[in-house]
Structure 1
Amino acid sequence: MMERKKRFQKEGSIHRPSIIGVIIMKDENNPGEESRLDSSKLPKAVQRLADAMLGIDPAWQLKDWLQNKAEEDLKLLSADLQRETLQAEQRLHRIESLSRRLDVDVKGGDVDLGQKNLFDCFDIIQRGLNISSDSTPDSPYSSNECEEFHPAGMLTNLLPSGETDDPFLAITAQHVLLQIGRLMEENVGVAPAEEIFNHLNERQIEDEEINEAINFLLLQGSIIEIDEDIFILGDE
């Protein structure tokens, strides 16, 4: 009986009583010595983990586990930061592309830039890229003419409550609204999501941005999903 008990303790078992009154850790500064850590000062979850791991492997070391866990979390954090950095760079690239596109459209127009420019159409100090509520009296061009001339005019009257200051989201949302309106005329009053995505993909707008715009418009009540992936314009 004593021999069987000794063999049981030597081999280890996850069912044996707790043996971590203290946890032994090797001291790197003094390789020949060991330091002791009072397990009662550790969180309960760590105590249970250490108890279970020592039951499986008597040579298990808390310090090694902490080191490995920290390295894994650092790798995950590094990957998250890289992903966030990439997304920020992609977003900046899209905004810069939008800025260049607007600039090219202005320069490529037949209108005298000295008489009409972006500031004639938008009060960017008051509303960012949103349309100003007042037109310039001395300007020979009306607000509607500005909208037709300049692609940024698609922001006009978009989301009157001013819930977003993201220019790319605003433009994508306006594309979605315009496309739903067009599809409703062509498809007996409804706009399938597949056709919305196909049209906007042709304009180099990514699916993620389209989904974000659709979700935003749904929350604002600007569009309504009457069936799965079937949309109509809302009352707003």
Structure 2
Amino acid sequence: NFEKDENHFKHNIVNVSINRDQIYDIAYYDSKDYEKGSNSTLLFDWDRLLNKEKEHFNIKIGQRVFGSNYPYSKITMELENLFPVLNRWFHFRIFGGIVRGNSPQQEAVYLSGSVRPTSFAYWFVDPDTKISTQENLHTKGDANLRGYLGQHLKGKNGVGVNFEIPVPGLSMINLFSDIGNVWDKKFGILKYGFGLGFDLKYIRIDFPFYINKPMKNEKAFAFRWLLELSF
């Protein structure tokens, strides 16, 4: 977790691993986000945390080994920073990602947040319902444009910039703004939105009440909510 204190933990970690994910059935996943198959990958992951700055660099290479169905490569980069503004910690995050080759849907770059739910999220989901972190249950990641929940937008390329600052006198309440896009061949129209979040340390609730590119039957200003678990 990215703690907002003066004695922030420091580390510099490099991880190299070989992984194999096998999805036999997507009965409990949304088919707009996941597909069946075997995915074998070589993963290089670098994570650096120093004072109020957090950097994350990830390379994932899928190979047709161990019965894998997907040859592809994926690179993501993420930078988070905290710096003081009017005696408050201003939170800035920038993300970029590209995917090349024949990758499964779950390895695309998603607009509204990471497609992978945390293990704790399952505790709050009806086992008879298809789980999706592209709906009201949210996992921070990818471009992280929180107001675009429900659209399941993804692409082979993606960028996102996220800003957040606590309301003076009310440290648990944050104003946020998200800017970015995901695309395959053409960038298209830049998307953005803003809203209000309540950070209860282990549970966060966001209300992204404005987005500039709503769905056909959706208004730009509307009541939207997201639940994110961080324990």
* TM-score, L = length of structure 1: 0.22
If each structure's strand is expressed as a fraction of its own residues, which one has the higher value? 2
Instruction: Please identify the structure whose Cα radius of gyration is greater.
Output: 1
Q: Which has the higher contact order (CA 8 A, sep 6+)?
A: 2
